Amino acid sequence: MKSLKAAGLALALVSSAAVPALAADPLVLQLKWVAQAQFAGYYVAQEKGYYKDADLDVTIKPGGPDVAPEQVIAGGGADVIVDWLPAALAAREKGLPLVNIAQPFAKSGLMLTCRKETGITSPSDFKGKTLGVWFSGNEYPFLAWMAKLGLKTDGGPDGVTVVKQGFNVDPLIQKQADCISTMTYNEYGQVLDAGLKPEDLVVFKYEDQGVSTLEDGLYTTEKELADPKKADALARFVSASMKGWAYAKENPDEAAGIVLDNDTTGAQTEEHQKFMMGEIAKLLGDSPKLDEAAAENTVKVLMSGGSDPVISKEPTGAWTSKITDAAK
């Protein structure tokens, strides 16, 4: 009897060895910017093995000033991207069928930061001023806001002069602009690091001005969503990513360290990444599911541009709960 059992066990071992382990599903994530705490949840999920546990082989591709996530996914260089809803909707209207599948960030971190010495105390004081603005899709919320205020952006006497702002705070520090675009979690901290104090500044948060738009959502294409296997992988990706975000929120210093380990530029500092992670935590939602009311408000803001709106018609099929409903 023992010999039969031993033979059976040996046969089972041979059989299991002959069956190769199922390979994890590959998935490429394209970030909107370079490795920083803005994307900590994804790096933490990678580091902690959450993607591996979900049978995923995730490649995280950092972005940069010359990287447009919409173009990357359009060219087949990514399965999912981090993007702002305004840029995604603008791309969709131009023919790229992007779809929001999850929205980890519930609030906007975008704002205009102005020197108090310029005399600006409210948006009504923008007229005749010079304002720094990011482009490559980041300008859409700003343009919609100026349209709402009735301010032209051509530098005329009845509008504002727009400075194409690099991804730094130099125009404000060097007094080349009266106000610049900043994120609560990044450039605002850089302004303070440069020596200006909060009392030297006047800040206008897009959230407070009623012109906020959804930022840092996860997007894929209609084609990917139509593939059941890829949709299943995306659901597992969203679930694992949210575990990463939850861990990062509870362990901000460790999360900042993980981000630094993935910074190939050498430009990030531990102090700034800790500051960033603390501010990012304030923007995260409790669920990855997109708030349709917030999405519809984004559409409203983008269509309020008078004769030259960011998008010309209300989108259909631009977001779905299919993936978040399937995510565990």
How do residues 35-75 score in pLDDT, each as one tens digit? 999 999 999 999 999 999 999 999 999 998 889 999 999 99
Report the Cα–Cα distance between both ends of the chain, in Å, rounded.
Answer: 46
Q: Is 192 exposed, middle or buried (0-12, 13-18, 19+ CB in 10 A)?
A: middle
**How sure is the predictor about 138, in pLDDT bands with cuts at 50, 70 and 90?**
confident
| Domains of the chain by start residue, with CATH | 25-106+214-326 (3.40.190.10), 110-205 (3.40.190.10)
Pairing of β 179-183 and β 110-115: antiparallel
Give phi and psi for 265, each to the nearest 5: -85, -25
**How sure is the predictor about 13, in pLDDT bands with cuts at 50, 70 and 90?**
very low
How do residues 244-300 score in pLDDT, each as one tens digit? 999 999 999 999 999 999 998 888 999 999 999 999 999 999 999 999 999 999 999
